[in-house]
Amino acid sequence: MAKGEETRLEIDFKALRHNFILLQNQVPKVPIMGVVKAFAYGTDSVVIGKKLVKFGATYLGVAYIKEGVRLRKEGVKVPILVFYPQLKDLRKLLEYNLIPSVYNFHFLNELKSSLTQNQKKHFPIHIKINTGMNRLGFDLKDLSQLQDELTSSNHFKLEGVFSHLSAAGMPTEDAFTKQQIEKFKIAVEALKKNVTSDFIAHLSNSSGILSHPEAAFDMVRAGIALYGYGNNINEQKNLQIVASLKTRIAQLREIHQGDSVGYDRKFKATKTTIIATLPLGYADGISRIYGNHKAEVSLHGKKAPIVGNVCMDTLMVDVTDIDCREGDEVLVFGKKHTALDFDKEKQSIPYELITRISQRVSRVFLENE
């Protein structure tokens, strides 16, 4: 056994490539933006971003300017769209040639001042349209004022128009999704007619690609599915999990009726029980909500529930019925025991679990691609 870190996140490039190809086959020839926000969903944004470009992603997407700057500093050259640019970082946005999502007039005006100050013209932007998510974006009623703003100055180059689907992975909400697609078409047609026809329109996230491939427009934005998770059983079917959180048993202990485990004595044994202590805790991203039998890990192919409260750096599992030794490998979640399997009570979603693996957990890349 190689002596590596006990707790590590293993990243499988082959699975990443498989998912990229699967998504590309859903929408043949449509360019794919690889979404690498939040450390590429908890993996590593630079390494994964570069792989995705190699696989054929034509754009990368991030949430914050800082995330885009990091990619640029590491030599990423493709266009990078920033979904939620913060006003205080606008200078960096210009300096590093990142494309902002422009979602309201306040932001548009602030950007305009910043461009004037820096003597920049025809700066590429993507306009975000609100089609029903009601989070960020211009409403359809804002379109004529927006068109005036865009045509009355030479600050901006309208390079993209996009929106976001709220429930594309929920078949029961398909009528709503269709309505979002129709609203988006109206906005795109209006901007084509009144501003320029030379921009790309994009709407679909992973669930859009997998469940509504007809709504691909000129580009799709792939996030969670690249990492191997779908938003329903059908979407999940052919995806491969990219990241596996693994650790090793630090200590085994036999306890007896009446003995307790961990802080606040939350677990009390009713019979002789074998407890394994694992060297990862809430500071590594395993929330306290998973303590007290709310989640289970996998060890020698069998499931072991978390007992007692999760500690900062450790957690304990019940391995009474599993033949195991100190040092044995444990899969917290990953390939054969997914984030959905770990989260037995479905208190969260894979997005949250995988993006929370903290930066102190080593990322290990399987060079298998």
Ligand X SMILES: *Cc1c(COP(=O)(O)O)cnc(C)c1O
Catalytic residues: 37, 263
Residues 15, 16, 30, 35: which binds ligand X (CB under 6 A)? 35
User: 322 with 275: CB under 8 angstroms?
Assistant: no
Q: Which is nearer to ligand X, 55 or 282 (CB)?
A: 55
Provide CB contacts within 8 A for 64, sequence distance 6+.
37, 82, 84, 85, 86, 89
| Distance in angstroms (rounded) separating the CA atoms of residues 230 and 223 | 10
Interface with ligand X in residues 59-88 (CB under 6 A): 83
Shortest CB 178 distance to ligand X, Å: 18
- Residue 24 touches ligand X, criterion: CB under 6 A: no
Q: Which is nearer to ligand X, 128 or 246 (CB)?
A: 128
Pairing of strands 302-307, 296-299: antiparallel
- Residue 205 touches ligand X, criterion: CB under 6 A: yes
Q: Which residue is nearest to ligand X (CB)?
A: 223
- Residue 126 touches ligand X, criterion: CB under 6 A: no
Interface with ligand X in residues 83-112 (CB under 6 A): 83
Shortest CB 168 distance to ligand X, Å: 8
Q: Which is nearer to ligand X, 280 or 354 (CB)?
A: 354
Q: Which is nearer to ligand X, 37 or 50 (CB)?
A: 37
- Residue 22 touches ligand X, criterion: CB under 6 A: no
Count of chain residues binding ligand X (CB under 6 A): 11
Burial of residue 176 (number of CB atoms within 10 Å: 0-12, 13-18, 19+): middle
Two tokens, residue 24 = 């590309």
- Residue 316 touches ligand X, criterion: CB under 6 A: no
Burial of residue 175 (number of CB atoms within 10 Å: 0-12, 13-18, 19+): exposed
| Distance in angstroms (rounded) separating the CA atoms of residues 350 and 243 | 11
Helices and strands of the chain, counted as H and E runs: 12, 19
The radius of gyration computed from the CA coordinates of the chain, to the nearest angstrom, equals 24
Q: Could you give the angle at the alpha carbon of 126 between the alpha carbons of 125 and 127, nearest 5°?
A: 115
- Residue 206 touches ligand X, criterion: CB under 6 A: yes
Q: Quick one: which segment of 8-16, 215-223, 316-324, 360-368 binds ligand X (CB under 6 A)?
A: 215-223
Helices within 240-358 (DSSP H only): 339-342, 350-355
- The Cβ of residue 142 has, within 10 Å, a number of other Cβ atoms equal to 17
- Residue 180 touches ligand X, criterion: CB under 6 A: no
Q: Which is nearer to ligand X, 86 or 320 (CB)?
A: 86
Q: Which is nearer to ligand X, 20 or 83 (CB)?
A: 83
Distances (CA, A) of 263 to 88, 271, 308: 42, 20, 7
Shortest CB 57 distance to ligand X, Å: 13
x-marked contacts with ligand X along 218-257 as a string, rule CB under 6 A: ---xxxxx--------------------------------
Shortest CB 351 distance to ligand X, Å: 7
| Distance in angstroms (rounded) separating the CA atoms of residues 98 and 109 | 18
What does the CA dihedral 16, 248, 3, 361 come to, rounded to 10 degrees?
A: 50
| Distance in angstroms (rounded) separating the CA atoms of residues 166 and 208 | 10
Residues 17, 51, 126, 164: which binds ligand X (CB under 6 A)? 164
Q: Which is nearer to ligand X, 124 or 279 (CB)?
A: 124
Binding site for ligand X (CB under 6 A): 35, 37, 83, 164, 205-206, 221-225
